[in-house]
Amino acid sequence: MLNIYRDTWSLDPAICPCDIHFTEFLEDKQIRDSAIFHFGTGAHHVVGIQVAESGRNNVVLGITASVGEYESYTRLVVGNPRVGQYYKAFFGDIYQLDARLLPRFDIVTLFHLCEFRTVANDDYGALTDLALAKLLIERIRPGGYILFYSNSMAADRASVVIRELREGSGIERCPDFKSLQIYQVRAAS
């Protein structure tokens, strides 16, 4: 059986401000015309809504393993098709991604790395957290960014993966932005 998130996540900035901090990062850096991959949409879909309303022509592809979050996305874009023009979300296990189906991105968020993968994913040959992160880094354009959430409920496990990525995947640490750890993919030399 597919390993899914059986709940939905409503916005609670006191507990998990990463999506809000990410939209503030986009604003602060004046990011424009960028393709963004976002792991964990939340039932609030704040990243997709803010990107659509920003007027900076960014687009977001989000993934959720929560049926409730996907249903809230469907209601959102049916009621507000303009959001759907800039924000697409799909339902699935992120650990089943296949690079052949992914476009190139300018920014990837992995705020929930190591939070949800369990041995249940092993039953169907799902990627590990490290393999997932490497796959997504390979889809980031040179000079693009990958972001992690410092206060993730799996920050200790994610830090091990991030350390391995820094040693072998061509990413460099940039200054943090609020609760977010920012890494940049080295430009080709």
Cα separation, 135 vs 97, in Å, equals 8
Pair 64, 70: CB distance under 8 Å: yes
For residue range 143-153, list pLDDT tens digits in order. 999 999 999 99
User: 82-86, 116-120, 177-181: which range is least confident on average?
Assistant: 116-120
Q: Is the pLDDT of residue 25 over 70?
A: yes
Instruction: Tell me the pLDDT tens digit for each residue of 27-83.
Output: 999 999 999 999 999 999 999 999 999 999 999 999 999 999 999 999 999 999 999
Q: Is 10:66 a contact under the CB 8 Å cutoff?
A: no
Q: What is the mean pLDDT of residues 20-24?
A: 98
DSSP 85-154: HHEEEEES-GGG--GGG---EEEEE-TTTTTS--HHHHTTTPPPHHHHHHHHHHTEEEEEEEEEETT-TT
Cβ-proximal residues to 98 (8 Å cutoff; 6+ apart), any chain: none
Looking at residue 8, its pLDDT comes to: 81
Residue 103 predicted with pLDDT over 70: yes
Res. 166: pLDDT tops 60: yes
Q: Give the pLDDT of residue 189.
A: 53
Tokens coding 82: 């303009």
Q: Residues 110-125: what's their mean pLDDT?
A: 95
Contact 106, 36 (CB under 8 A): yes
Q: In what order do the strands lie in the sheet with 59-64?
A: 87-91, 59-64, 35-39, 105-109, 140-149, 180-185, 171-173
Question: What kind of fold does domain 19-185 have according to CATH?
Answer: Rossmann fold (3.40.50)
Residue 118 has pLDDT above 70, yes or no: yes
For the chain, what are the domain ranges? 19-185
Mean pLDDT of all residues belonging to the chain: 95
pLDDT band for 188, please (50, 70, 90 cuts): low
pLDDT greater than 80 at residue 86: yes
Note the pLDDT of residue 10.
Answer: 85
Query: What pLDDT was estimated at residue 15?
Result: 87
Q: How confident is the model over 135-145, as pLDDT tens digits?
A: 999 999 999 99
pLDDT score of 132 more than 90: yes
